[in-house]
Amino acid sequence: MTFANVGTLGTQPGQLDAVVAILTRPNPALAEAGCLLYEVGTSQDQPDTVFVTELWTSAAAHQQSLQLASVREAIAEAMPLLTGEMSGFQYDVVDSPLRD
């Protein structure tokens, strides 16, 4: 079942672009691990917040991806640039009005 992981990450002042750059660095290993969608964005209303929306083939695929070397390296690189403030939610996709 497709699994959604959606969230926000607080960034240290002035570090928004640096965190976005880390998270959007091309990484084919993600798709190989079952990542279907991984969108990173920002909002003028929240200048120190990075937004992430992910879809995975399963919750297990998402969980296992956190063990990928490339993912662990990205997290380690981004961690000092983050405030630790995080929000979001995870859920199982049921369906879409875009699909018959």
The residues binding a second copy (CB under 8 A) are: 2, 4, 6, 8, 20, 23-27, 30-31, 35, 37-44, 46, 51, 53, 55, 89-100
Closest CB 50 distance from a second copy, rounded Å: 9
Q: How far apart are CA 12 and CA 51, in angstroms?
A: 14
Q: Which is nearer to a second copy, 6 or 12 (CB)?
A: 6
Question: What are 62's two structure tokens?
Answer: 């998402």
Phi, psi angle pair for 53, to nearest 5°: -130, 120
Q: Which is nearer to a second copy, 79 or 92 (CB)?
A: 92
Q: Which of 30, 97, 38, 100 is nearest to 66 (CA)?
A: 30
Q: How far apart are CA 16 and CA 45, in angstroms?
A: 13
Closest CB 13 distance from a second copy, rounded Å: 18
Contact 5, 88 (CB under 8 A): yes
Closest CB 58 distance from a second copy, rounded Å: 13
Closest CB 1 distance from a second copy, rounded Å: 9
